[in-house]
């Protein structure tokens, strides 16, 4: 870590520890081991970047009592300081896709976990290369780079863990109960609020890395509706008249849940994960159309296998699908 970055981290940590209280300039100087001018310059720079900081004349500095909807990397790292592995955050203005950036970070050998976020994507993608619309400043567009100790056959369970993590995090921070749509969507009512894309690189015995990408429609975009080519219409977590949902806290909550669920899988706890997923899965018990690269199957979704596959009862008998697109009959 560069000296400038280390100074920012130390000052941010001191303000975070104060829990909204004012910390004087001399106190920051003494505890950080830097000059008063260095403190002032660092704080000014953080303010310019949108870090939720207040300068109190003749008293000192403090974090904003009610932090604005911010995706500042230092704020995120402080809020996620209790997450195992001490994740780092890269927050970008606009990128083609956060998935591309996360894969490049892996090639550079940066220790994981790393979370890449963007205010907007120009080439966001979901399953089967479908475009994912990413309106600026309204949603969460992120990719988490992980190195799980899992085998390739557990990759479908990793996708289920990602969906469950998003559901848990949204419930914790927004109080909204979403349904899961196998394998990788979250629904609010009949609308899609979140799409997930999990990519892994592995050899026959071990996953080397996984990139878990999420696109979440969080706050209303002034009437702008995201374009989504899937049969399920888009929806938002925020509804007309509701207060803004703080995207930063939502990111941290989802990451906490994701790391926890991956750890559960690593310790052999897939049975509990599948059971929880099934209890919130809107696909089960529904008439479905299952679309693979080779065929389209009509049937009724009956359950999730221990390996994460969708179990479908159809005219040919009971079949399992590890990777497919699923359309709920009543949704189109």
237 lies in the same domain as 139: yes
Q: Which of 24, 40, 63 is where one domain is finished?
A: 63
Domain boundary among 37, 63, 89: 63
Q: Which residues pair with 221 in a beta bridge?
A: 224
Q: What integer pLDDT is reported at residue 155 of this predicted model?
A: 95
325, 210: one domain: no
Question: Is residue 125 domain-shared with residue 169, that is, in the same domain?
Answer: yes
CATH number, domain of 305, equals: 2.30.30.100
pTM of the full structure: 0.91
Residues 193 and 255 in one domain: yes
- Are 325 and 239 members of one domain? no
The answer on 321 and 291 residing in a single domain is yes
Q: Of the candidates 264, 265, 254, which has an alpha carbon nearest to the alpha carbon of residue 154?
A: 265
- Could you tell me if 266 and 300 lie in one domain? no
Do the domain assignments include residue 85?
A: yes
Q: What is the pLDDT of residue 332?
A: 44
CA 266 from centre of chain: 20
Query: Structural domain of residue 225, as residue ranges?
Result: 73-279
- Successive 10-residue mean pLDDT values, the chain, 332 residues: 84 93 95 93 93 92 82 94 93 93 91 91 63 75 96 95 98 97 93 94 92 94 59 87 92 97 96 98 96 94 97 95 88 46
Is residue 68, in this structure, part of any structural domain at all?
A: no
Q: What is the CATH number of the domain that holds 96?
A: 3.30.930.10
DSSP of 141-209: EEEEEE-----GGGHHHHHHHHHHHHHHHHHHHH---PEEETTTEEEETTEEEEEEEEEEEE-SS-EEE
Q: Is there a domain that residue 292 lies in?
A: yes
- What would the two tokens of residue 190 be? 């009949």
- Are 118 and 92 in contact, with CB atoms under 8 Å apart? yes
Please tell me whether residues 120 and 163 are part of one structural domain: yes
Please give the span between the terminal C-alpha atoms of the chain, in angstroms, as a whole number: 51
Are 79 and 44 within one domain? no
Do 182 and 292 sit in the same domain of this protein? no
CATH code for the domain in which residue 49 is found:
1.10.10.10
- 183 with 92, same domain? yes
Residue pair 238/258 in contact by the 8 Å Cβ criterion = no
pLDDT for residue 223? 56
Looking at the fold, whether 119 and 207 belong to one and the same domain comes out as yes
Q: Could you say which of 255, 279, 303 is where a domain stops? A: 279
Considering the domain boundaries, does residue 195 fall inside one?
yes
Domain count, the chain: 3
**35, part of any domain:** yes
The pLDDT score that the predictor gives to residue 211 is 96
């Amino acid at each position: 870590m560069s000296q400038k970055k280390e100074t920012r981290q130390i000052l941010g940590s001191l303000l975070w520890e104060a829990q909204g209280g004012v910390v004087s300039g001399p106190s920051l100087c003494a505890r950080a081991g830097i000059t008063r001018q260095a403190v002032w310059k660092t704080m000014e720079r953080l303010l310019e970047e949108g870090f939720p900081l207040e300068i109190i004349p003749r008293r000192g500095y403090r974090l904003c009592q009610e932090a604005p909807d911010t995706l500042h990397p230092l704020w995120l790292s402080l809020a996620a300081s209790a997450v195992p592995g001490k994740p780092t955050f890269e927050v970008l203005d606009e990128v083609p896709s956060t998935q591309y950036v996360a894969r490049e970070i892996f090639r550079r050998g940066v220790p994981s976990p790393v979370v890449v976020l963007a205010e907007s994507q120009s080439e966001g993608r979901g399953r089967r290369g479908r475009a994912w619309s990413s309106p600026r400043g309204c949603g969460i567009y992120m990719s988490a780079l992980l190195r799980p100790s899992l085998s390739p056959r557990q990759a479908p369970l990793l996708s289920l863990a990602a969906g469950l993590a998003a559901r848990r995090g949204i419930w914790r921070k927004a109080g909204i109960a979403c349904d899961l749509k196998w394998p990788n969507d979250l629904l609010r009512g009949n609308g899609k609020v979140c799409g997930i894309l999990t990519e892994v690189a592995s050899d026959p015995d071990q996953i080397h890395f996984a990139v878990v990408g999420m696109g979440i429609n969080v706050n209303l975009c002034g009437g702008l509706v995201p374009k989504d080519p899937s049969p399920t219409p888009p929806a938002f977590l925020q509804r007309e008249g509701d207060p803004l949902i703080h995207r930063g806290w939502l990111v941290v909550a989802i990451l906490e849940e994701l790391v926890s669920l991956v750890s559960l899988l690593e310790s052999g706890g897939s049975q509990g994960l599948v059971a929880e997923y099934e209890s919130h899965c809107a696909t089960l018990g529904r008439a479905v159309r299952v679309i693979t690269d080779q065929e389209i199957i009509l049937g009724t979704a009956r359950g999730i296998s221990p390996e994460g596959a969708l179990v479908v009862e159809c005219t040919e008998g009971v079949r399992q699908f590890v990777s497919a697109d699923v359309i709920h009959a009543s949704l189109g």
